[in-house]
Chain A
Amino acid sequence: MRDSFYYFFRKTYNKIMLLLIFLLSLLATLPFFYIAYFVFQKGFSAINWDFFTKIPSGPGIAGGGLANGILGSAVMVGMACLAGLPWGVFLGVFLSEYRFHPLSKLLRFVVDLSVSTPSIVIGIFIYSLLVSFFGFSAYAGAMALMLILIPIIGKSAEEILKMVPNHIREAGLALGLPRWKVILQILIPGTVAMLFSGVILSIARIAGETAPLLFTSLGNQFFSKSLNEPTASLPVQIYEFSKSGFPDLEAMAWGGAFLLISFVFFINFSTRLLIFIRKPSYKNEF
């Protein structure tokens, strides 16, 4: 009788705690839903065909869009990604596969440090390294974004490769493959879907960076004629228009924010889906 009472008590207690945890988790995600709703409500109405095809018109003039910012962001993020991706993956490979190498400790320290470096510091760094000599440009912006990207990709690649159990590597070595072939032909192809997801998640991460671009690509009211010119970008346009004080520009900024959030949401959602479909199973792990 006593036992069954305790059992009942424990079960109820368990249920209450579970409910509490659920409610608290919900509470923690609430701000996000609120932000998403808020941005949607304010920004969605600004989205139309002109938004994607026209450059901003002056304050008080109807119409116009953020085409130059969208293009500038795409170009700079694209360049940063093309240049940073191989570096990042190599970095991840080194951190994971040569983790006993004496250099590895130092490198891991540097990477941890640079992941947590405020992005504005990276902006200032590129400013003094490049911009102060060659002026504001898309190249400088892409460089700053790349510096943010490399350690993020490196970290995610490291974590993903570390998930591969060691006996898989040993099976490759035992087949008479040199270690670099085991990495290139077995580990990387075997985890490519997850590595790829890591890369696009980090793209989503840099797409919204504003501070480093303020110091490097600056901004441009028009389309840039070359990569050597100051270049508009979505986050910087959002930043500038939202503090402009003109209602029509502010509406445009909300539209940009909505676009950016949708992009990030879309990327996160589709990579989750990709991981869900392609995740290798190590079902024999116990």
Chain B
Amino acid sequence: MSFKKGKMKQKTLIEVKALSAWFKKSQALSNINLLIEKNKVTAIIGPSGCGKSTFIRCLNRLHEEVEGAYLKGEVILEGKNIYDLGSDPVLIRRNIGMVFQKPNPFPGMSIYDNVAIGLKLSGIKKRSLLDERVERSLRNAALWKEVKDHLSRSGQSLSGGQQQRLCIARALAVNPSVMLMDEPTSALEPISTAWIEELIQKLKNQVTVVFVTHNMQQAARVSDRIAFFLNGELVEFNKTSWFFTKPKHSKSEDYITGRF
């Protein structure tokens, strides 16, 4: 960790204030308060069902797309509450990329179109600009070399690991300032997992990453900050190195040492 204490005040990108979320009558998150720093990787960990996915889906307003789901509280991104009345979820989501647990390239769509679709549908038509952005995104996702000669092949024809990198490229193409990842490697084998982990490290210069993982080693390897959730509550939010060496909370310690 090259974090020098007191050298400068870290810039906050997202401020989560008193966030609670429900599915119908059952509460999934209660009163979450959290600061996500710019160009840092934040890992969300915790046992199954503790609300990790729900939490990151509140950050791009995807939670409200689930039937019967609603929430309370504020998520302030770059100074503006994304839940302000009259703010458009569609516009907000363009600034926040998301990668899912299962690689999900769009069916029947070529590799090129999978990456270009976000740009195309937001009105960019110039071919040269599209070409350039597609190449850049695929390079950033460390997939360019493997696919550059068959961009017109179906995205679903790639291997699982390649598909996941394609999904990362798709999300990067629209230049988001935040990238949310929900267990991005849990469906992949170790080599693809290592690729994605390396990618997250590289990406943090251009985009702030928030990712969910079940894998403690992965969180330790990749993240700068750790948010530990338990039963819908944020138990501990800490620098990764401190979290693993001297956790503030006894429950964190129990979780780290596998006593759950």
- A-side residues, CB < 8 A to B, are 100, 164-165, 167-168, 170-178, 181, 185-186, 189-193, 278, 280-286
Residues of A within 8 A of B92 (CB): 176
Residues of A within 8 A of B189 (CB): none
In the complex, what distance in Å separates the CA atom of A266 from the CA atom of B7? 76
> Could you tell me if B102 and A167 are in contact, using CB atoms closer than 8 angstroms?
yes
Is B206 an interface residue, CB under 8 A from the partner? no
Is B117 an interface residue, CB under 8 A from the partner? yes
> Could you tell me if B100 and A167 are in contact, using CB atoms closer than 8 angstroms?
yes
In the complex, what distance in Å separates the CA atom of A280 from the CA atom of B110? 12
Residues of B within 8 A of A278 (CB): 108
Q: With CB as the reference atom, state the residue of chain A lying closest to B67.
A: A100
Residue among A164, A174, A181, A286 making CB contact with B62, cutoff 8 Å: A174
Residue among A164, A175, A285 making CB contact with B94, cutoff 8 Å: A175
> Could you tell me if B117 and A185 are in contact, using CB atoms closer than 8 angstroms?
yes
Residues of B within 8 A of A190 (CB): 106-109
In the complex, what distance in Å separates the CA atom of A174 from the CA atom of B101? 14
Residues of B within 8 A of A168 (CB): 104, 106-107
**Interface residues as binary, B77-93 with A (CB distance below 8 Å gives 1, 0 otherwise):** 00000000000001111
Is B8 an interface residue, CB under 8 A from the partner? no
Residues of A within 8 A of B170 (CB): 171, 175
> Could you tell me if B106 and A172 are in contact, using CB atoms closer than 8 angstroms?
yes
> Could you tell me if B90 and A170 are in contact, using CB atoms closer than 8 angstroms?
no
Residues of B within 8 A of A170 (CB): 62, 65, 98, 100
Q: With CB as the reference atom, state the residue of chain A lying closest to B156.
A: A281
**Interface residues as binary, B109-135 with A (CB distance below 8 Å gives 1, 0 otherwise):** 100000001100110000000000000
> Could you tell me if B98 and A174 are in contact, using CB atoms closer than 8 angstroms?
yes
Residues of A within 8 A of B62 (CB): 170, 173-174
Residue among B91, B104, B118, B122 making CB contact with A167, cutoff 8 Å: B104
Q: With CB as the reference atom, state the residue of chain A lying closest to B96.
A: A174
Residues of B within 8 A of A280 (CB): 107-108, 156
Is B174 an interface residue, CB under 8 A from the partner? yes
Residues of B within 8 A of A164 (CB): 107
Q: With CB as the reference atom, state the residue of chain B lying closest to A185.
A: B121
In the complex, what distance in Å separates the CA atom of A33 from the CA atom of B239? 72
Residues of B within 8 A of A281 (CB): 107, 156
A-B contact pairs, 13 of them (CB 8 A): A164-B107, A167-B102, A168-B107, A173-B65, A174-B93, A175-B94, A175-B118, A175-B170, A175-B171, A175-B174, A185-B121, A189-B108, A190-B108
Residues of A within 8 A of B223 (CB): none
In the complex, what distance in Å separates the CA atom of A280 from the CA atom of B62? 25
Residues of A within 8 A of B91 (CB): 176
Known A171-B167, A173-B65, A185-B117; contact A284-B174, beta-carbon cutoff 8 A = no
**Interface-central residue, A171, A174, A189, A193, by most chain B CB under 10 Å:** A174
In the complex, what distance in Å separates the CA atom of A191 from the CA atom of B109? 10
**Interface-central residue, A186, A192, A193, by most chain B CB under 10 Å:** A186
Query: How far, in Å, is A159 (CB) from chain B's closest CB?
Result: 16
> Could you tell me if B100 and A171 are in contact, using CB atoms closer than 8 angstroms?
yes
Given pairs A173-B93, A193-B108, A284-B160, 14 additional interface contacts (CB within 8 A)? A165-B102, A167-B101, A170-B65, A171-B104, A171-B106, A175-B118, A176-B91, A176-B118, A177-B90, A186-B109, A281-B107, A284-B102, A284-B103, A284-B187
Residues of A within 8 A of B122 (CB): 176
Per CB-CB distance, the 9 closest pairs between chain A and chain B, nearest first, are A176-B94, A280-B107, A190-B107, A174-B98, A176-B93, A190-B108, A175-B118, A100-B67, A284-B102
Residues of B within 8 A of A100 (CB): 67
Residues of A within 8 A of B121 (CB): 175, 177, 181, 185
Residue among B95, B117, B171 making CB contact with A186, cutoff 8 Å: B117
In the complex, what distance in Å separates the CA atom of A175 from the CA atom of B60? 10
Q: With CB as the reference atom, state the residue of chain A lying closest to B154.
A: A280
Residues of B within 8 A of A167 (CB): 100-102, 104
In the complex, what distance in Å separates the CA atom of A110 from the CA atom of B94? 39
In the complex, what distance in Å separates the CA atom of A75 from the CA atom of B247? 77
> Could you tell me if A175 and B117 are in contact, using CB atoms closer than 8 angstroms?
yes
Residues of B within 8 A of A282 (CB): 107
In the complex, what distance in Å separates the CA atom of A189 from the CA atom of B121? 14
Residue among A171, A176, A191, A284 making CB contact with B90, cutoff 8 Å: A176
Residues of A within 8 A of B101 (CB): 167
Is B213 an interface residue, CB under 8 A from the partner? no
Residues of B within 8 A of A286 (CB): 187
In the complex, what distance in Å separates the CA atom of A285 from the CA atom of B104? 10
